[in-house]
Chain A
Amino acid sequence: MASADKPINTDVPEKDVFTLHFLQSLSNLRRQNTFNSPEKTNDRVKKIKKAAYVSMARAAGGTNRLWSRALLRRAAKENSKVVRFPRRKKRVTCLRRRRSNRRDPVEEEEAERLRNLVPGGGGMETSKLMEETAHYIKCLSMQVKVMQCLVDGLAPK
């Protein structure tokens, strides 16, 4: 275990990147199922939600983050698409260390809940999980802002 403390890097791209990706995915959605009937709101909602998450994952750095990878992989699975990620060698060591390091009864239950929330959190040790959570929170809040602006922009129309 290295004691070198690299500064935690949770830089999140600006809002325009998120907006871009979101609009992109939305328009993709529209193209895929051109005009859903208004009654099937749930489907639309789900699609929009999925588009939101996927676009967020892509905007937030694509495959650089564990959670974005997991998100994209999950989405691709639903669409039965094959997603390829650049291999990262660090994965092996993380898994190997998982057994020994991820123990602390006080925080483990909380970490368990976090892992369920954050996509891709199952295979991470706690410190890495917290880093991913921080980035995920940032991206989520950015996405929320974008969507809020969108809604507000569209509403008066």
Chain B
Amino acid sequence: MDVSEKDELRNGDDTTVNYDESANNPPPDWRVSGSNPVSDSYPTENLMMETLWYDPANVQAVGYGGFNGGGNASSSSSFRGNIDRSLEMGWSLPNLLPPKGGNGMFLPNAGSFLPPSMAQFPADSGFIERAARFSLFSGGSFSDMMNQQQPLGNPESVGLFLQGQCPSSEVNVVGVAHNDASAGMKETNVRSSEQGNKQNVSEDTQSSGGNDQKGGETSSKGFDSKKRKRNKQNAEADQSQRSQQSEEEPDNNGGGDKKRNDEQSPNSQGNKTNSGKQQGKQASDPKDGYIHVRARRGQATNSHSLAERVRREKISERMKFLQDLVPGCNKVTGKAVMLDEIINYVQSLQRQVEFLSMKLATVNPQMDFSLEGLLAKDALQLRAGTSSATPFPPNMPMVYPPLPHGFMQQTLSSMGRNVSSPLSPPINGGYKRQEANGWEGDLQNVIQINYGAGDAPHDSQAAAATEASLPSSNMKVEP
């Protein structure tokens, strides 16, 4: 029965995928598959059967995962009553944190991992217990890991490991997951439970303990030194591969990393996956070799990958900022296209400056930028409304008879603050000339020319902006 169930489970691997998706829909159903040793021939309950076959107290967790697959089965409803009880019983054992809420509900993620793994694991009750706890733990921690900004590769790799590996590697993953949890999660319960598990599974947890070596958070004491060395070697190998980032390694290790994820966790995680991978290979028949590859890819050497991720986040944040600046970049997505747009915009702005300077040169061939004349027009644009009659600063080089308009006064005063002495002579000369002509009329003309009927400074600036934008749009067309 056991073998047949396993075969059916294996065959049902495809279906388990479906279960995974559908398992998310009816969360309560997973509770069902209970530990009742029902030998009914429900095809969908084969997963449950397998779980049922195991020690109910231990298997509750496992059954949980299986239940996700089998939860969709309508027949599982019959088990509900018993299963709830047994499930809760089973949960007292590992006492794994219910990820959210106090009930024994596991996230569907756990279930998604379990069924295929169940098919492949040998029917070892102790193993199943470990697997159950581990998967549950990892299931719960995955969501948290996903939610938090842990290196995303870890949860996926852990899950993948779960699916495709044997107990030893699986336990490694447990250690990994635990380390992940301990590293960043609030699930302290897991740690204690994991410690309890570790006592049961001494030799298997050694590798995970070795993984914790650098993390030093979980109670991974008395681990196999060989595995520890292997982990370190793996970490070093990875680091050597990424020699470019190697210089970050000491930075991260040296505590210079102020990220929320401690440096320990990335290192330990990197080690863990390395050791897990190794052990996965060494251990007997990893069923799905491709999973290892995936895990490796998703799990870069953590210190570097974390640094890379932070850097990338920085860059993306700034890209968003730039997106707001550059007009017409809201629809564009993707860094390359955005950067192209930004580059084009900067180039166009520079071309505008050049064009305008040319225009200025031609408009005013003598370059007689008489300040007063320019100021008279610009003053309108600047702060027309703010007629704060600031008294002239005493150090102002140009002291003129009282100005009729406050804004002019203000601009002159502001100019005076910054102005250096060379400016005074032209200002003096030009200003008197201008003043005599009654530049109020000039101002009025300028106002009308520039802004139509603009009065308020905002309008003026807006008008100026529109004016600037219009020719700019024209300029863009020009080569």
Contact = CB atoms under 8 A, between A and B. Distances in A.
B325 A153 contact: no
Given A19-B382, A107-B336, A154-B363, A52 B353 contact: yes
B426 interface: yes
Contacts of A4: 258
A66 to B, nearest CB: 14
A31 B374 CA distance: 16
Nearest to B261: A3
B387 to A, nearest CB: 14
14 contacts: A1-B251, A1-B310, A29-B369, A45-B361, A49-B353, A49-B357, A106-B335, A110-B343, A113-B339, A130-B321, A133-B346, A147-B357, A153-B449, A155-B363
Interface residues of A, number: 70
A63 interface: no
B472 interface: yes
B188 interface: no
A126 interface: yes
Contacts of A16: 378, 382-383, 411, 414
A131 B377 CA distance: 33
B315 interface: yes
B396 interface: no
A36 B367 contact: yes
B357 to A, nearest CB: 4
Contact of B311 (A1, A24, A28, A136): A1
B378 A153 contact: yes
Contact of B378 (A136, A138, A150): A150
Which 10 A/B pairs are nearest by Cβ-Cβ distance?
Answer: A153-B377, A110-B339, A130-B318, A148-B468, A16-B382, A147-B356, A140-B349, A48-B357, A3-B259, A127-B314
A148 B467 contact: yes
Interface of A: 1-5, 8, 10, 14-16, 19-21, 23-24, 26-31, 35-36, 38, 41, 44-45, 48-49, 52-53, 99-101, 103-104, 106-107, 110-111, 113-114, 117-118, 126-127, 130-131, 133-134, 136-138, 140-141, 143-157
Contact of A140 (B322, B350, B363): B350
Contact of B371 (A2, A27, A113): A27
A48 B361 contact: yes
A101 B467 CA distance: 42
Interface string B460-472: 0100110110011
A144 B357 contact: no
A23 B360 contact: no
A132 B445 CA distance: 39
Given A111-B339, A143-B353, A152-B467, 20 more contacts: A2-B258, A8-B318, A15-B461, A19-B381, A23-B378, A27-B369, A44-B367, A49-B357, A99-B247, A101-B307, A101-B311, A107-B336, A117-B347, A126-B315, A144-B353, A149-B377, A151-B363, A153-B374, A154-B374, A156-B449
Given A27-B369, A110-B336, A147-B356, A156 B315 contact: no
Interface stretch (B46-54, B220-228, B416-424): B416-424
B446 interface: yes
Where chain B touches its partner, the secondary structure class is helix
A149 B381 contact: yes
Given A38-B365, A110-B335, A134-B325, A150 B360 contact: yes
Given A133-B346, A152-B450, A156-B445, A147 B360 contact: yes
Interface in B441-462: 445-446, 449-450, 461
A114 B247 CA distance: 26
A19 to B, nearest CB: 5
B339 A114 contact: yes
B335 A107 contact: yes
B365 A148 contact: no
A38 B363 CA distance: 11
A1 B58 CA distance: 44
B343 A113 contact: yes
Where chain A touches its partner, the secondary structure class is helix
Interface in B224-250: 244-245, 247-248
Contacts of B362: 41
Nearest to B363: A154
A149 B343 contact: no
Nearest to B339: A110
Nearest to B446: A153
A104 B461 CA distance: 41
Nearest to B422: A31
Nearest to A156: B449
A117 B357 CA distance: 19
B278 to A, nearest CB: 28
Contacts of B373: 157
B265 to A, nearest CB: 14
A117 B325 contact: no
Which of the listed residues A53, A138, A140, A153 has the most CB atoms from chain B within 10 Å of its own CB?
A: A153
A121 B378 CA distance: 33
B418 A24 contact: yes
A3 B312 CA distance: 11
B79 interface: no
B450 A153 contact: yes
Interface string B251-279: 10000011110000000000000000000
A103 B245 CA distance: 10
